[in-house]
Structure 1
Amino acid sequence: MRTWILPALAALTFTTGPAAAFDVTAMSDQERESFRAEIREYLLDNPEIILEAVQVLEARQAQEQASAEKDIISNNAAAIFEDGFSWVGGNPEGDITVVEFMDYRCGFCRRAAPEIEKLLVNDTNVRLVIKELPILGDQSVIMSRFAIAAHQVAGDDAYKAVHDVLMAMNGDVDDARLRRVAEDLQLDADAILAQMGSDDVTQVIAENRALAQALNISGTPSFIVKDEVLRGFLPADQMEIVIDEKRNEG
């Protein structure tokens, strides 16, 4: 029997009397044994009460978690929505922002990519922010460094082009392969490869990781919509439902 059941039921059983009328510690061993037997019999006759109590507890914990999450997002709003270095797509002047934490080696991030594109086509008032969060090993880091370096060297269009190529790329990458990607996109491969090891690129990744930790984000893809963190893959239609709900909240 869970340890919380006895005091909980005791509190419920004696709420009709004076607050000081019942004291478990004052019971004799025989009284305590009898009391426990009564509780056991009651629970066996009404087992649904345990499920109801668990459901109430879970709902309360979920509400507390959602409230705490909103506070964390509010306290980190500038870093989440307006960090000044993350790529911004969709409608930059849109009325709602979707922030995506992603990793190029993440299979679910790859599944999410076309769904995000579909979302932006279906809803032209969504602002999209992509945050590089390489958490799946050295290859993830190399690919993120390349994308961030392309952004810093050549701007938004270059980043988006590189991002799309990396998201569809199979197998490991090295400098030679990344050079070919840059050259195929008519970008300055030498400048981008040189920028990959810079402190500026390192800082972007470090800030994204610190922000993810503050938000209790440990996996990709993860999304932030207004004041809520959505963890895991979501198809476009489900994302649209969330966005509509957030818009209606005001």
Structure 2
Amino acid sequence: MKKLLAALLLTATPALSLDLGAMTDAEKEAFGAAVRDYLVENPEVMVEVMTALEEQRLAQEAENDSVMLSQLEDQIYNDDNSWVGGNPDGDVTMVEFIDYRCGVCRQVFPIVEETLASDGNIRLILKDFPILGEESELAARFATAVKQIEGDEAYKQVHDHFYNMRGNVTTEALRATAEEMGFAADEIMTAMDSDAVSEVLADNARLASQLGLSGTPSFIIGDTLLRGMPRTGLAPVIEEARAAASEG
């Protein structure tokens, strides 16, 4: 409220300097009435003030995010557990936190694929971040176990399968999937409950917490942290990151 009042004073009366603490109760009441009257007569001022405050908030949030991304750089980009695809030598890196049972992630999946294909110069890092219950956890454990045992290509095959999958994720369904894909089903099903798989998901959850992420999909593109899919799409953010990298 104090920030709002200060912004109103600057917007409505930029040349005015007031010491509210030195006012008498009667003067404060008169001043408050004058502010209310002004806003009633000039409602566009409130819109301007709220817009300015939101811009300040977003700018501060972006600055805080940039500092945090720099501090967590190794965990984000250089861990040995995350799947890396797209163009491994791309000039822009995009990190996506995913949950296979997330409806928005399912909708975003073809957009990400098309962006990678049309751009051709993006390095993609995927981090499994199961937050939507038991089926999310099972799917993430299965995908992680597949990567550890069968490799990166197998992980991508499973990743794509989950986003096109219909029906519930159960241990029976996962075993059938492993067998259909020609994987070592017994070894994968056992590995799902291993410490090695648990540590990967715990590391991802810890990183997400440090980044202030509570939902999926979430993206990191350059030094921009996106908590959700931007309304303008991924392309503008990618181009901003590319431009910033070339300037640096």
TM-score by length of 2: 0.88
Deviation larger for 166-175 or 4-13: 4-13
**Structure 1: 4+ residue segments shifted above 4 A:** 2-17
| Aligned mates of 1:110, 1:231 — CA distance in 2 | 16
Specify whether residues 35 and 114 from structure 1 end up closer, same or farther in structure 2 by C-alpha distance, changes over 3 A only. closer
1:198 pairs with one of 194, 198, 204: 194
Cα distance change, pair 44–213 in 1 and its aligned pair in 2 (3 A): same
What corresponds to 1:175 in structure 2?
171
Find the partner of 2:83 among 82, 87, 90. 87
Distance 1:42 1:218, change over 3 A: same
- Relative to structure 1, the CA distance from residue 164 to residue 61 in structure 2 (aligned partners, 3 Å threshold; closer, same or farther) is same
The answer to whether structure 1 residue 109 and structure 2 residue 111 are counterparts is: no
Matched, 1:70 2:63: no
Q: Does 1:244 align with 2:239?
A: yes
Displacement, 1:15?
A: 5.3
Distance 1:64 1:16 in 2: 27
Structure 1 gap ranges (5+): none
Note the C-alpha offset of 1:183.
1.4
- Superposition pairs of residues 128-167 of structure 1, within 5 angstroms: 128-167=124-163
Query: Per-residue deviation at 1:8?
Result: 5.6
SS at match of 1:88: strand
* Contact 1:179-1:193 within 8 A present in 2 as well: yes
Query: Any conservation in 2 of the 1:112–1:234 contact (CA below 8 Å)?
Result: no
Q: How does 1:224-239 map to 2 (within 5 A)?
A: 224-233=220-229, 238-239=233-234
Do 2:149 and 2:188's aligned partners in 1 also have CA atoms closer than 8 Å? yes
| Partner deviation per Cα, 1:151-210 (whole Å, 9 max, x = no partner) | 001111111111111221122233322122111111111111111110010011111111
Q: Tell me the SS of whatever aligns to 1:135.
A: coil
Q: Identity, % of aligned pairs?
A: 43
Task: For structure 2, list consecutive stretches of 5 or more residues without a partner in the other structure.
Answer: none
1:221 corresponding residue in structure 2: 217
Alpha carbons of 1:30 and 1:198: their partners in 2 closer, same or farther (altered >3 Å)?
closer
Rounded to whole Å, the distance in 1 between the matches of 2:3 and 2:235 is 41
Q: Deviations over 1:76-104 (max 9, x none)?
A: 11111111110111111111111111111
CA displacement 1:4-35 (0-9 Å, x = unmatched): 56566667859567xxxx54344344433333
In 1, distance between residues paired with 2:25 and 2:233? 57
> Does the Cα contact within 8 Å between 2:99 and 2:216 map onto a contact in 1?
yes
Question: Alignment RMSD, CA only?
Answer: 2.4
Helix, strand or coil for the counterpart of 2:62?
helix
- Length, aligned pairs only: 244
Matches of 1:119 and 1:185, distance apart in 2 = 27
* Between 120-129 and 133-142, the greater mean CA deviation after superposition: 120-129
Whose radius of gyration is greater, 1 or 2? 1
Could you tell me how far apart the structure 2 residues matched to 1:216 and 1:131 are?
15
Q: Structure 1-normalised TM-score? A: 0.88
Query: 70-79 vs 169-178, which deviates more?
Result: 169-178
Q: 3-state DSSP class of the match of 2:161? A: helix
SS at match of 1:238: coil
Partner of residue 96, structure 1: 92
Counterpart AA for 1:132: D
Judging changes above 3 Å, is the alpha-carbon distance between structure 1 residues 167 and 36 closer, same or farther for their aligned structure 2 residues? closer
Deviation of 1:229 (Å): 1.7
Question: In 2, Cα distance between the equivalents of 1:238 and 1:118?
Answer: 12
